[in-house]
């Protein structure tokens, strides 16, 4: 059993009742506490959250209910994580923050920035992952739609060049409805839930950012102790943060520091929807961005401090992470300052 905040059902009651449905009755039929319909902070079983969406969709004859609820939701459902996201310096920082602290909202779910599954140049992917059995279609549609709208918010409230959407289930509503909702091609029966978007979007800066407010939100989030799910990822990230540039970042050495067999560590990370390479890449990206935008450190030294043998590797990764060279990223940061 996995627990999620009842905030995940934000706008469910309003949408169902606007369509003439009985949200309370649906909740009772699946054993979901009725209070979860009107509060954000109740911890509920993710299976019951998914089930109430399926029951309501069936009773209303509304196959796109998950899409409708996701379109009605806003960033506030993430609570303190939403504050940290809104006050992040850039889209890349906001997504990294989401990846790191997603456990506060849903303990066994994760959002991560990964390489484009199609391998297209200038494209990266935002992946929504869930361990064990895949969630039901309506819950997946709702969550991926909410994720899409979050990226739109980070892009200034407009379309951001979404290339395509991958969903792990078949279409439960007409394909045209999905593509109208996302404004892009939607592919079904894929191995993971993924938004494919331009890598250049990552370097976009956010407006009206308050570093003090973000610091307070991050301080609160860092004090939350995940009981499951992201615990292993958090420990690996913390170990890599300490080792980067000064010690070994090899899987075997990190596993030894954590007193676990490397294969066991790989399995635990996979269960959380990530991998050792993905976590290491995320840590390197955050550290490199900090060095490039807040210091005048030579690029060769930055490369060394983030664990690259050659400056050329930093340049290639910078293009993948932000769609910019290190010098372009530094120049843009100086122009903003």
Q: d(Cα 108, Cα 131) in Å, to the nearest integer?
A: 7
Q: d(Cα 179, Cα 130) in Å, to the nearest integer?
A: 23
What pLDDT score was predicted for residue 218? 83
Instruction: Give the closest residue to 32 by CA, choosing from 21, 23, 40, 20.
Output: 23
Q: Which CATH superfamily is domain 230-336 in?
A: Homeodomain-like (1.10.10.60)
Percent of the chain with pLDDT over 70: 95
pLDDT band at residue 217 using 50, 70 and 90 as cut-offs: confident
Q: Mean pLDDT: which of 37-41, 56-60, 197-201, 318-322 is highest?
A: 56-60
Q: d(Cα 259, Cα 164) in Å, to the nearest integer?
A: 41
Q: Outline which parts of the chain fall under CATH 1.10.10.60.
A: 230-336
Instruction: Give the closest residue to 154 by CA, choosing from 219, 204, 102.
Output: 204
Q: Is 60 exceeded by the pLDDT of residue 319?
A: yes
Mean pLDDT over residues 56-61, rounded? 97
Indicate the DSSP class of residue 166: E
Instruction: Give the closest residue to 108 by CA, choosing from 13, 8, 226.
Output: 226
Q: Mean pLDDT: which of 14-28, 36-50, 122-136 is highest?
A: 14-28
Q: d(Cα 176, Cα 181) in Å, to the nearest integer?
A: 9
Q: Is 90 exceeded by the pLDDT of residue 257?
A: no
Q: Are 142 and 67 in contact (CB under 8 A)?
A: yes
Which regions of the chain does DSSP assign to beta strands (E)? 3-5, 43-45, 110-115, 123-129, 164-166, 185-187, 193-198
Mean pLDDT over residues 208-234, rounded? 73
Among left, alpha and beta (phi > 0; psi -120 to 50; other), residue 206 is beta
What is the pTM (predicted TM-score) of this model? 0.69
Percent of the chain with pLDDT over 90: 55
């Amino acid at each position: 059993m996995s627990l999620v905040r009842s905030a995940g059902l934000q706008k469910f009651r309003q949408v169902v009742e606007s369509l003439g449905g009985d949200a309370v009755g649906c909740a009772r039929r699946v054993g979901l506490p009725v209070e979860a319909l009107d509060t954000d902070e109740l911890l509920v079983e993710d299976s019951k959250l998914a089930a109430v969406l399926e029951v309501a969709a069936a009773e209303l004859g509304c196959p796109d209910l998950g899409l409708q609820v996701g379109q009605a939701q806003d960033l506030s459902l993430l609570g303190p994580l939403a504050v940290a996201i809104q006050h992040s310096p850039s889209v890349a920082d906001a997504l990294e923050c989401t990846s790191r602290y997603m456990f506060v909202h849903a303990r066994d779910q994760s959002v991560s920035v990964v390489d484009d599954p199609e391998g297209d140049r200038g494209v990266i992917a935002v992946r929504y992952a869930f361990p064990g059995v895949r969630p039901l279609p309506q819950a997946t549609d709702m969550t991926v739609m909410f994720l899409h709208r979050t990226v739109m918010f980070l892009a200034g409230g407009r379309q951001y060049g979404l290339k395509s959407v991958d969903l792990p289930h078949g279409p439960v509503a007409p394909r045209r409805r999905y593509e109208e909702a996302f404004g892009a091609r939607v592919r079904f029966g894929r191995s993971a839930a993924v938004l494919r978007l331009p890598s250049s979007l990552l370097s976009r800066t956010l407006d009206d950012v308050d570093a003090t407010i973000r610091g307070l939100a991050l301080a609160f989030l860092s004090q939350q102790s995940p009981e499951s799910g992201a615990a292993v990822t958090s420990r690996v990230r913390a170990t890599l943060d300490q080792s980067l540039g000064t010690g070994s970042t090899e899987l075997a050495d990190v596993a030894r520091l954590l007193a676990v067999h490397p294969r066991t560590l790989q399995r635990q990370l996979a269960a959380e929807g990530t991998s050792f390479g993905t976590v290491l890449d995320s840590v390197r990206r955050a550290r490199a961005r900090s060095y490039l935008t807040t210091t005048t450190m030579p690029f060769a030294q930055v490369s060394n401090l983030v664990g690259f043998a050659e400056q050329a590797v930093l340049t290639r990764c910078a293009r993948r992470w932000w769609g910019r060279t290190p010098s372009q990223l530094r120049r843009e940061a100086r122009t903003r300052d």
